[in-house]
Amino acid sequence: LASANPDHWKKAAAIRALALDGVAAANSGHTGMPIGMADVATVLFEKHLKFDAKNPDWPDRDRFILSAGHGSMLVYALLHLTGYEDMTLEQVKNFRQWGAITAGHPEFGHAKGVETTTGPLGQGIANSVGFAMAEESLRAHYGKKVIDHHTYVIAGDGCLMEGISQEAIALAGRQELSKLIVFWDNNNITIDGTVELSDRTDQVMRFKSAGWHVQDIDGHDAAAIDAAIVAAKKSGKPSMIACKTHIALGHAAQDTSKGHGALTDAAAMAEAKARYGWTTGPFEVPADIKSAWEAIGSRGNADFTAWQERFATVSGSKQAEFNRAFVGDAPKKLSATIKALKKSISEKAPSVATRKSSEMVLAAVNPICSETIGGSADLTGSNNTKTADLGVFDTDNRKGRYVYYGIREHGMAAAMNGMALHGGIRPYGGTFMCFTDYARPSMRLSALMGIPVTYVMTHDSIGLGEDGPTHQPVEHLAMLRATPNMHVFRPCDTVETAEAWELALSSKETPATLSLTRQNLPTLRTEHKTKNLTSQGAYVLADAEGKRQVILMATGSEVEIAMAARDILQAEGIGTRVVSMPCWELFAAQEESYRKRVLPGGPVRVAVEAGVQFGWDQWLSGERGKAAKAGFVGMEGFGASAPAEVLYEKFGITALAVADKAKSLL
Amino acid sequence: LASANPDHWKKAAAIRALALDGVAAANSGHTGMPIGMADVATVLFEKHLKFDAKNPDWPDRDRFILSAGHGSMLVYALLHLTGYEDMTLEQVKNFRQWGAITAGHPEFGHAKGVETTTGPLGQGIANSVGFAMAEESLRAHYGKKVIDHHTYVIAGDGCLMEGISQEAIALAGRQELSKLIVFWDNNNITIDGTVELSDRTDQVMRFKSAGWHVQDIDGHDAAAIDAAIVAAKKSGKPSMIACKTHIALGHAAQDTSKGHGALTDAAAMAEAKARYGWTTGPFEVPADIKSAWEAIGSRGNADFTAWQERFATVSGSKQAEFNRAFVGDAPKKLSATIKALKKSISEKAPSVATRKSSEMVLAAVNPICSETIGGSADLTGSNNTKTADLGVFDTDNRKGRYVYYGIREHGMAAAMNGMALHGGIRPYGGTFMCFTDYARPSMRLSALMGIPVTYVMTHDSIGLGEDGPTHQPVEHLAMLRATPNMHVFRPCDTVETAEAWELALSSKETPATLSLTRQNLPTLRTEHKTKNLTSQGAYVLADAEGKRQVILMATGSEVEIAMAARDILQAEGIGTRVVSMPCWELFAAQEESYRKRVLPGGPVRVAVEAGVQFGWDQWLSGERGKAAKAGFVGMEGFGASAPAEVLYEKFGITALAVADKAKSLL
């Protein structure tokens, strides 16, 4: 290999040496994968990847995604070698240390050039489908001169064994995402041993069955890699290149599961480096090799300049729209649109399910937000996510802004992450609230990465009715609220739904989950307020008349019940305040003085929510409350199959039960 | 169709008519799928399925799993028609109503003959892999005369689009589970429209790539269905039969997405029934057709009797072992084994990670529990789930009791559910705690079904270190604790780990999650107690010396920190109790008098756990606590990538921080 193509070999050796040194310094990490895929990465970066190391935020750059995120030293080595300014040698030396941008797994937002956070396997390849969809959409909207790039992915056996990969590749195949090119690091090794221990899938046949263009090559043969990429780019389908590689090539641990991990033995490292012809000390890259790599890093600069010139020829309004969408600013009209809708709703006071409320908001908002792309995991009519103006994103209509994701909650969430990460797109997508379970790994990554994806989760309680406990969330609000950096909105009517959407569409660094009902709810916010009350997280919806003895707290469909309970209590002369709490996270973020005004100490507190109590003690006995004067009305276990009204009655989530609970505590 | 095979047609028509009537009575449900698959189901039950309606618990029955669970009326119709005693006509008429066993989706434990809870798509087909593995394992252990049956599955497009199906079919293909036969209801319809909207996967090629035997037939042709099942049984591979069907056959909504839902229009129902040649009123099955079905239901009775006779010839000890395992009783030796281990550990007081503690327990327990089957999702060496005696379950060693599940957390969890549901097996399996996210939909079903699966979740906090926040759980304890009917054990040392395992292995109706550390922990339970203290959920590990001013609460790796904080506080004369809380659910289930003894009102309370506070207020300000005198030391957001000890220091989870927090509240 070395003799056949010495220039290539030296550049690849630089990656291999840095991977060895980085992992050895950290005494932790994965050495074998970067070593094994160094040849593929070198050819890709040298000959194909459109990028400019000095302009890493260039919107039309090719995206490079390391789905096999444990091989993070591969991307750090590439970024350092090609001259990304933030990826200093110091950072590489501090691999996996506190404060370094060289985290154990690539973390979005740490280092430029890291397009997404990977490590949880299969996520990167599934994100990449969103990247490629975003590219298609933006190319259709802004034209080829503004957006026209590829998305490249390196995926390992782990990525391909994870179920999410099937959702991703089937979606990509269906959508004929021809600018998506995946390299499979076919090294036949997993942590437990050879792949054979747990898998014999014919991956080539599998990808073909999903509508992909597939090639099978020697992943150490530079010419074959180059030819395969050329062919992949020509294909009208997404392309998978199976790269037969040797994990930890040239190291004593080559082709073993030991080679997957941290290779830190000094003698074995020295031997491997000798085989690479690498004679310099740790972290030392010979100047000629470094400058060869830096030339690769600046290869795209002319392209970047040309792009800037082309972009300057686009109309001013398109430029402004493009820049706004990439920065993530909401359209200027959003606030006025939401206010107008709120006013109209407060006057008309419709009784609708909040999933329908959400559709009403989207119908007003989608026409003024060209950056939204909506969708559903095969529950379009139930999630109410499709508005008339969107059109369907398809092979013959890339301007369409609605995606039929199929029965693929996980793939949908990961694709939405990819779209948001790409920039220029603000994705939202729906399924039943209970099936946040399926999307969970990607939802966590939305929160961890801090990207404004919006999850439209309908049928959010036993109010779903007859479908039964498999479809009735009880713990899911708690799960989402426990997740850092996730705004969980559970609006009680159309006005709160509009406010929640305004916040979701204005967010730049926090994803949102909208928890919406199947069943109809009355409009409770009948007095129009221009202020977005949901932005405070909780507020007094109806105050006590007379002496305030009771505070009822509720969210979503149970606010109606709290209001009815208040009627009962007030009729008995018990002054009762109702606090609507559509977003705990935003309420917790308010100043204490505000929180104290809403939840003063003293009165009895009863919370009502058609979910488990878990988490509610924060507001019941915490926050100036007292355990002995606090009660909860909700679910104690899983739901059941019956009509919604029967379930509310049988599980005791009624106005009478709330009033009785309050009285028992007085 | 009707004229070619009138006897078959009439029987199938009975299913179709009942499906129409059941859904219409409920005004809710899914009519089209039972109608579309009635022919396949009829042939399967009439000619192949080994069952005896009067002995539904026969351990060697064939298993029939409706993965497309929304078509629940198919299974209810079959169970009623074949004469299952609990599936009365009254139950069928009360489809989807409160208290009926005919839930919206098939719920395990409601009706005999419902082998697993389905509805969340893909779960049934993934459970079935566990059923088939259990069958292989038990056949190897007890011999063919005791266990030798097939597992049949009906899966729809939704099941096959869900990623979990890929994990399932690849695992089944790898393990050559030849007695697993899947019928794919190839009706080309999903809720949103035709499958084409979101998918063009060549499913036949896909299953072949996973090592399956595949056939493609007309799903309404009784002879073709029969021939395909015969061929499938002969194959040495798992078998997929693609059944081209018409959803809602014969109804005006045939072949449309409307046909997927509830077909309740009276005129259209009448028309469809006329096409079926069905002339009786709602829920009326002509006597001749009912008795033909009942003959099918009793067809297996002779087989059952023969099985009983064969079983009686097995040795008494084998019979006892078999019966004990199927009932789910722990081995008699378990208690003594655990006690002996605890005693030895308390004396030796090793400093080990609790994942290693778990391995030590398993090494003692696996040899006396022939019913355990362990495994890991490609983290065997990290999860410490493999003990020396188990052997590896493989095509040439069905007696092996360790499964290399591959990188398939979801498929593993669902397979474990299948094994537990089959009976005779007590499965456990491991991954990193953070990747409970991937397994989540199946873990919820373990809890909902009430089956004793044990999840061995290691690397349970920032203590995982350098792999960083993608691998560091912070919200996962809260998520699991919020889930009804899940025991979440977070043991602080080897003794508590042994106690947790004893409880997990003795459970019959509650799954367990063991939350275990990567990092070493000292033995804190150095004084041997025969009593299982973990069974109380929380207990006083070290009491205050002098006046009790502070109670520190902690779990797992943070109990050590609490003990060190106690040393600091006691040194300053502040009497401090430490409460170890390895299982909140069990503590909450104790009598109030016990809870009050452990957590009396009065003292300052500080909880320490390397996760989010969410949920802790239950014990801090609730349970006789006071918000103003309570504090929490833990995580406020996601973790970071650095060595574990650095992370604990940087995130302020230290004994000093705990002591300071307590003092600030005094």
As beta bridge partners, residue B152 has B64, B181
Q: Which of B198, B620, B626 sits opposite A404 (nearest CB)?
A: B198
Integer Cα distance of A519 and A644 in angstroms: 8
Interchain CB distance below 8 Å, B198 and A171 = yes
Write down the pLDDT at residue B146: 98
| CB B370 within 8 Å of CB B320 | no
Q: B167 is written with which tokens?
A: 């994990």
Does a structural domain hold residue A316?
A: no
What is the predicted pLDDT for the residue at B164?
A: 98
Confidence at residue A383, expressed as pLDDT on a 0 to 100 scale:
98
Q: Do B210 and A206 touch (CB under 8 A)?
A: yes
- Report how many domains make up chain A: 3
CB contact under 8 A, A638 and B485: yes
Exposure string of A217-252, with b = 16+ CB inside 10 Å and e = fewer, is bebbbbebbbebbeebeebebbbbbbbbbbbbbbbe
User: Is residue A591 domain-resident?
Assistant: yes
The alpha carbons of chain A give a radius of gyration, in whole angstroms, of 27
Find the CB nearest A467 among B105, B117, B406.
B105
Does B163 contact A468 at a Cβ distance shorter than 8 Å?
A: no
Give counts: helices (H), strands (E), chain A.
26, 20
Same structural domain for residues B465 and B576? no
B41-77: per-residue pLDDT in tens? 999 999 999 999 999 999 999 999 999 999 999 999 9
Residue A310 is assigned to a structural domain of this protein: no
Q: Domain span at residue B353?
A: 333-521
The residues, ordered by sequence, that sit 6+ positions from A65 with a Cβ below 8 Å of its Cβ are A115, A116, A118, A124, A125, A127, A128, A131, A151, A152, A153, A154
What residues form DSSP beta bridges with A540?
A579
Query: Do A467 and A541 reside in the same domain of the chain?
Result: no
Q: How would residue A3 be classed by pLDDT, with cut points 50, 70 and 90?
A: confident
- When pLDDT is cut at 50, 70 and 90, the band that residue B2 belongs to is confident
Chain A, nearest residue to B468 by Cα? A104
| pLDDT grade for A266, boundaries at 50, 70 and 90 | very high
> CA–CA separation, B37 vs A454, rounded Å?
37
- Asked if residue A526 is part of any domain, the answer here is no
Cβ–Cβ of A441/B437 closer than 8 Å?
yes
Residues B63 and B211 in one domain: yes
Q: Please check whether residue A181 is in contact with residue A169, taking contact to mean a CB–CB distance below 8 angstroms.
A: no
Instruction: Say if residue B626's pLDDT is above 90.
Output: yes
Query: If you average pLDDT over residues B541-547, what whole number do you get?
Result: 98
Do B269 and B367 lie in one domain? The reply is: no
Contacts of B404 in chain A (CB under 8 A): 192-193, 197-198
Q: Is 80 exceeded by the pLDDT of residue A1?
A: no
pLDDT average, residue stretch B478-485: 98
Question: pLDDT averaged over chain B?
Answer: 98
Q: Which of A240, A239, A257 is nearest to A33 (CA)?
A: A257
Band of residue A100 on the pLDDT scale cut at 50, 70, 90: very high
Shortest Cα–Cα distance, B296 to chain A (Å): 30
How big is the A-B interface in CB pairs under 8 Å? 359
In a domain, A239, yes or no: yes
- Rounded to an integer, the average pLDDT of B498-512 is 98
Boundary residue ending a domain (B521, B556, B583): B521
Average pLDDT of chain A is 98
Chain A residues close to B473, C-beta within 8 Å = none
Distance from CA of A335 to the nearest CA of B (A): 30
User: Is the distance from CB of A453 to CB of A557 less than 8 angstroms?
Assistant: no
Give the best residue of B621, B629, B651 to mutate against chain A (max A CB count within 10 A): B621
- pLDDT band for B10, please (50, 70, 90 cuts): very high
Examine the domain organization and report whether A480 and A562 are in the same domain. Answer: no
Which among B477, B496, B521 is the end of a domain?
A: B521
- pLDDT for residue A166: 98
Quote the minimal CA–CA distance from B625 to chain A in Å.
Answer: 7
Contact B408 A198 (CB under 8 A): yes
> Active site includes A409?
yes
Q: What is the pLDDT of residues B578-607, one digit of tens each?
A: 999 999 999 999 999 999 999 999 999 999
Contact A438 B120 (CB under 8 A): yes
Chain-chain contact of A482 with B69 (C-beta, under 8 angstroms): no
Confidence of residue B1 (pLDDT cuts 50, 70, 90): confident
Q: Are residues A427 and A469 in the same domain?
A: yes
Please check the confidence at residue A484 and state whether its pLDDT lies above 80.
yes
Inter-chain contact A119–B471, Cβ cutoff 8 Å? Answer: yes
Q: How close, in Å, is residue A481 to chain B by CA atoms? A: 8
Q: How far is A617 from chain B (nearest CA, A)?
A: 5
Q: Kindly indicate the confidence band of residue B4, based on its pLDDT and cuts at 50, 70 and 90.
A: confident
Helices (H), B27-162: 32-43, 72-82, 89-93, 123-142, 157-161
Residue B314, pLDDT > 80, answer yes
Does A181 map to a domain?
Answer: yes
B612 vs A408: CB contact, 8 Å cut-off? Answer: no
Q: What integer pLDDT is reported at residue B25 of this predicted model?
A: 97
Residues from chain A that touch B445, judged by Cβ atoms under 8 A, are 470
- My answer on whether B299 and B358 are in the same domain is no
Q: What is the rounded distance in angstroms from the CA atom of residue A446 to the CA atom of residue A484?
A: 10
Mean pLDDT of A569-584: 98
Q: Name the residue facing B614 among A482, A485, A643 (closest C-beta).
A: A482
Under an 8 A CB cutoff, do B206 and A203 touch?
Answer: no
Looking at the structure, tell me whether residues B491 and B563 fall in a common domain: no
**Do A17 and A89 contact (CB within 8 A), yes or no?**
no
Q: What is the mean pLDDT of residues B141-151?
A: 98
Closest chain B C-alpha to A468 CA, distance in angstroms: 6
Strand stretches in B84-223, DSSP E: 151-155, 180-186, 189-190, 193-194, 213-218
> What percentage of residues in chain A have a pLDDT greater than 90?
99
Give the CATH number for residue B76: 3.40.50.970
In chain B, which residues have their Cβ closer than 8 Å to the Cβ of A75?
A: none
Q: What is the pLDDT of residues A307-364, one digit of tens each?
A: 999 999 999 999 999 999 999 999 999 999 999 999 999 999 999 999 999 999 999 9
Backbone angles phi, psi at A264, to 5 degrees: -120, 0
Instruction: Name which of B190, B206, B646 is nearest A209 (Cβ-Cβ).
Output: B206
Answer yes or no: do B94 and B205 share one domain: yes
- Of the three residues A255, A288, A304, the one that is the final residue of a domain is A304
**Could you tell me if B484 and B588 lie in one domain?**
no
**A133-160, pLDDT tens digit by residue?**
999 999 999 999 999 999 999 999 999 9
Return the residue in B209, B407, B437, B592 with the most chain A beta carbons within 10 A, the one to mutate for interface testing. B407
B289's enclosing H/E stretch is helix B287-298
Check B105 against A471: CB less than 8 A apart. yes
Question: Do the chains contact at A378 and B484, CB–CB below 8 Å?
Answer: no
Closest CB from A209, A410, A468 relative to B163: A410
At A164, is the pLDDT very low, low, confident or very high (cuts 50, 70, 90)? very high
The answer as to whether B363 is a domain residue is yes
Closest alpha carbon within chain A to B445: A470
Best mutation target among B75, B121, B378 (most A Cβ atoms within 10 Å) is B378
Which of B163, B202, B620 has its CB closest to that of A164? Answer: B163
For residue A277, what are the CA distances in angstroms to A17, A281, B321?
A: 10, 12, 62
Is residue A183 located within the same domain as residue A225?
Answer: yes
Residue B467 has pLDDT above 80, yes or no: yes
In a domain, B321, yes or no: no
Tokens 């270190």, located at residue: B465
**B255: Cβ contacts below 8 Å, ≥ 6 apart:** B187, B188, B189, B246, B247, B248
Q: Which of A107, A162, A359, A409 is catalytic?
A: A409
Residue B227: exposure state from Cβ atoms within 10 A (0-12, 13-18, ≥19): middle
- CB-nearest to B440 from A192, A440, A614 is A440
Neighbours of A267 (CB within 10 A): 8
Answer yes or no: do A486 and A556 share one domain: no
Q: What is the pLDDT, as a whole number, of residue A2?
A: 76
Chosen from B384, B402, B467, B476 to mutate, greatest number of chain A CBs within 10 A: B467
Q: What is the pLDDT of residue B3?
A: 80
Closest approach of A628 to chain B, Cα-based (Å):
8
Selecting among B409, B499, B502, B560, the annotated active-site residue is: B409
Position A51 pLDDT exceeds 80: yes
What average pLDDT score do residues B520-530 get? 98
Q: Which residues of B touch A441 (CB under 8 A)?
A: 435, 437-438
Q: What separation, in Å, do the N-terminal and C-terminal C-alpha atoms of chain B show?
A: 83
Please tell me the distance in Å from B601's CA to the nearest CA on chain A.
Answer: 11
> ipTM value of the model?
0.98
Task: Give the mean model confidence (pLDDT) for residues A419-425.
Answer: 98
State the CATH number of the domain containing residue B624. 3.40.50.920
Q: In chain B, which residues have their Cβ closer than 8 Å to the Cβ of A393?
A: none
Strands B426-432, B454-458: parallel, antiparallel or unpaired by DSSP? parallel
Tokens of B112: 């005999």
Q: Select from B206, B408, B478 the Cβ nearest to the Cβ of A482.
A: B478
CB of A534 closer than 8 Å to CB of A494: no
